[in-house]
């Protein structure tokens, strides 16, 4: 069973996007939502909202903001619908795995022509601890699905980073020298750091963490 969080906001100055609120009352809802990872959805019941419903990505989670007075039955009906809309938007904008492979070839050809190795496969993966990974022995690359909605230059940066690992397994001087050729390295690093900060701002309530640990 996949769980999501439902939080009631009791504070007038709450900013939904930056998560700044001094008092949040979390409750745990045992709703099963197909294709949803535990903790991926957070439902915010805001006292400031009267009718409007919104959904957006923050960090690696989908945040759905609903009026505090909405019934639980309406919430159960609306949350999957809003999540489906976010997923559809992301799917439409997601680069195919075939395109990921061709993009790696373009990046290496342009920025690191001395690397002749190419990945045997590139796959999207549900990774929360890393942006990407590369296995040198079989030349496979995995990219975190958190990057599906990222700007193109950020995805390019992660692809280039992992592609360099095809030849240099560690982050030594040679690796860093090649990575520095990426023209927007600083901007991409800033984006990734900001993303992680936003993700950490929506930490799972302790009650859910304990529940999930019991089921592990």
**Residue 37 forms part of a structural domain:** yes
**Residue 192 forms part of a structural domain:** no
Are residue 135 and residue 175 in the same domain, yes or no?
Answer: yes
Question: Residue 49's closest CA among 27, 67, 23, 28?
Answer: 67
Residue 115 has φ and ψ, to the nearest 5°, of -90, 110
Contact (CB, 8 A) for 36 and 2: yes
**Residue 70 forms part of a structural domain:** yes
**What is the reported pLDDT for 95?**
76
Residues in the chain: 216
Predicted model pTM: 0.58
Contact (CB, 8 A) for 190 and 153: no
Residues of the domain holding 54: 4-92+205-215
Contact (CB, 8 A) for 162 and 125: no
Query: Residue 168: pLDDT band by 50, 70, 90 thresholds?
Result: very high
Are residue 108 and residue 179 in the same domain, yes or no?
Answer: yes
Task: Tell me how many domains the chain contains.
Answer: 2
**Residue 145 forms part of a structural domain:** yes
**For residues 55 and 84, what is the distance between their CA atoms, to the nearest angstrom?**
10
Are residue 8 and residue 88 in the same domain, yes or no?
Answer: yes
- DSSP 8-state symbol, 69: T
Q: Beta partners for 63?
A: 42, 56
How far out from the chain centre does Cα 150 lie? Answer: 9
pLDDT tens for 14-62 read 444 444 433 333 343 444 444 444 456 778 887 777 778 888 776 567 7
């Amino acid at each position: 069973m996949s769980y999501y969080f439902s939080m009631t906001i009791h504070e007038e100055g709450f900013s939904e996007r930056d998560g700044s609120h001094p008092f949040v009352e979390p409750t745990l809802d045992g709703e099963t939502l197909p294709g949803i990872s535990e903790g991926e959805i957070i439902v915010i019941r805001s006292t400031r909202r009267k009718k409007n419903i919104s959904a957006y990505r923050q960090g690696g989670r989908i945040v759905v903001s609903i009026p505090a007075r909405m019934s639980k039955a309406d919430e159960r009906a609306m949350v999957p619908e809003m999540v489906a809309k976010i997923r559809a938007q992301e799917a439409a904008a997601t680069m195919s795995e075939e395109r990921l492979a061709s993009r790696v070839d373009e990046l290496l050809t342009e920025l690191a022509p001395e690397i002749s190795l190419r990945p045997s496969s590139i796959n999207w993966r549900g990774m929360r601890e890393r942006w990407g990974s590369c296995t040198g022995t079989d030349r496979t690359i995995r990219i975190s699905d958190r990057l599906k909605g990222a700007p193109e230059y950020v995805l390019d940066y992660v692809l280039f980073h992992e592609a360099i690992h095809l030849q240099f397994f560690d982050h030594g001087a040679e690796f860093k020298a090649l990575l520095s050729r990426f023209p927007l390295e600083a901007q991409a690093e800033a984006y990734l750091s900001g993303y992680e900060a936003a993700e950490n701002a929506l930490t799972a309530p302790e009650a859910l963490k304990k529940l999930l640990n019991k089921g592990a």
